[in-house]
Amino acid sequence: MRLGADHVRVRVPATSANLGPGFDALGLALALHDDVEVRAVASDDVVVTVEGEGAGEVPDDATHLVVRALVAGIERAGAPLTGFRVHCTNRIPHGRGLGSSAAAVVAGIAAARGLVADPSVLDDAATLRLATEFEGHPDNAAPAVLGGATIAWDGGPTPERVQGGVRAVGLPLHPGVEATVLVPTARLATSRARGVLPAQVPHADAARTAGRAALLVEALTRRPDLLLDATQDALHQEYRSDVMPGSWDLLVELRDAGLAATVSGAGPTVLVLSESSQRERVDAVLASLVGGAAEWQVARPAIDTTGVRVRRVRGGSDEVAVRG
Ligand SMILES: Nc1ncnc2c1ncn2[C@@H]1O[C@H](COP(=O)(O)OP(=O)(O)O)[C@@H](O)[C@H]1O
Ligand SMILES: N[C@@H](CCOP(=O)(O)O)C(=O)O
């Protein structure tokens, strides 16, 4: 198989995973984007330039996460490998629980989708499966690919009655649902936050959290007034409190004040889900708890309803959409 294009642009959203009780399953795409531009070149070397988040920190060669995912995508499609020039404009902060690594992986696979002759071999389902091989869990990759709120699950490698492999569906999000992120200056690697989780949890905690996850689907789609109850979790957040004490304390204070606060992904960002009709009250609580605190950056990004966007560049500003 040959390449179908030699120049693509990709835009990928930040994501907030778990949403409280939906550990490794639920996620939400946020309109805070990384942009990646990829050119295939005749030589076999790889050069990466980065501006914004991660500049000066992430690698500038073939070990860069976007490039590793790009190469994996090209290989999965059976297309020939070439050299690449990759330019990243990053806005998603790293190590904060806003899905920067999943965004990098999805962007790399999406770039491959734009470059190969038959983009359908890296369609949304294939992209999600390959991204999950990198991440180990699909809850960030699903909204990064599809946009909006998603539920992802793994049908397993040996399907019986169910289709195997990782899959995801989008939820018809209630238009009044808003997301506010409280992003601390401190970072926390997802691998570290996963390392402090117990191998087993009490059955009562699992049962209660399963019920809340089911309720959260209703809250996100039809009854945002139920968000506070629906975002209760007993599977991961408190277990992680020692590695993000500031986030945990803030989460408890926000919930005591009636806001549906959760840890975003593996933290340490705190996510508040709310109804647009309640914005004044939410802002008043946020002002009283984190107003003026240099440690917390507060933002209310729109929900990204599109997911990853891929364009083939045919010269100058002439672009053809491959996705989104
Ligand atoms: N855009 C990117 N380009 C290259 N590497 C990235 C990018 N985004 C994230 N990473 C890598 O992933 C790490 C953060 O991943 P992780 O600990 O899972 O946190 P996050 O919650 O931000 O996904 C970064 O330190 C960096 O090594
Ligand atoms: N379900 C995962 C989500 C990790 O999200 P990230 O944005 O922190 O990478 C977990 O909770 O470990």
Q: Say if residue 84 is in the same domain as residue 152.
A: yes
What's the structural domain count of the chain? 2
Kindly tell me if the per-residue pLDDT of 257 is higher than 90: yes
Give the integer Cα–Cα distance in Å for 29 and 300.
Answer: 12
* Band of residue 279 on the pLDDT scale cut at 50, 70, 90: very high
Question: Does some domain include residue 1?
Answer: no
Query: Do both 205 and 161 map to the same domain?
Result: no
Query: Would you state the pLDDT for residue 160?
Result: 55
The conformation of residue 120, written as its DSSP 8-state character, comes to: G
**pTM of the predicted model as reported, rounded to 2 decimal places:** 0.97
Q: Give the residue-averaged pLDDT of 145-174.
A: 85
Higher pLDDT, 156 or 109: 109
Q: Any long-range contacts for 319-322 (C-beta under 8 Å, 24+ apart)? A: 319/9, 322/8, 322/113, 322/114, 322/119
Contact status, residue 12 vs residue 109, Cβ threshold 8 Å: no
Provide the residue range defining the domain that includes 153.
7-171+304-323
Whether 280 and 212 map to the same domain: the answer is: yes
Give yes or no for a contact between 55 and 90, defined as CB atoms under 8 angstroms apart: yes
Query: pLDDT of 180-210, one tens digit each?
Result: 999 999 999 999 999 999 999 999 999 999 9
Q: What average pLDDT does the structure give for the chain?
A: 96
246 found inside a domain: yes
- For residues 81 and 68, membership in a common domain is answered with yes
The residue nearest atom 3 of ligand 2, judged by CA position, is: 265
Instruction: Give, using CA atoms, the residue closest to atom 12 of ligand 1.
Output: 101
Question: What's the rounded Cα separation, in Å, for the pair 260 and 210?
Answer: 17
15, 34, 100: residue to mutate for ligand 1 pocket, most atoms within 8 A of CB: 100
Q: How far is C-alpha 128 from the geometric centre of its chain's CA atoms?
A: 12
Please list every protein residue whose CB sits less than 6 Å from any atom of ligand 1: 34, 54, 58, 64-66, 88, 90, 94-102, 104, 189-190, 265
Asked if 55 and 143 sit in the same domain, the reply is yes
Q: Is residue 284 part of a domain?
A: yes
How far is Cα 98 from Cα 65, in angstroms, rounded to an integer? 16
What is the pLDDT confidence band of residue 158, given thresholds at 50, 70 and 90? low
Which bound ligand lies closest to the C-alpha atom of 33?
1
Ligand that comes closest to the CA of residue 70: 1
2 falls within a domain: no
Average pLDDT over residues 145-151: 98
What pLDDT score was predicted for residue 1?
54
Rounded average pLDDT over 158-174: 80
Q: Which atom of ligand 1 is the closest one to the Cα of 97?
A: 21
Residues 37, 166, single domain; the answer is yes
Question: With contact defined as beta carbons under 8 Å apart, do 80 and 2 qualify?
Answer: yes
Determine the average pLDDT of the residues in 70-92. 96
Amino acid 315: pLDDT: 80
| Residue 207 marked as a ligand binder | no
What pLDDT sits at residue 164?
67
Q: What is the CATH number of the domain that holds 126?
A: 3.30.230.10
| DSSP 8-state code for residue 319 | E
Average pLDDT over residues 219-223: 98
Is residue 289 in some structural domain?
yes
On whether both 283 and 317 belong to a single domain, the answer is no
Interface confidence: ipTM more than 0.90: yes
Ligand 1 geometric centre to CA of 100 (Å): 5
245: domain CATH number is 3.30.70.890
Statement to judge: residues 268 and 234 lie in one domain: yes
Domain assignment present for residue 225? The answer is yes
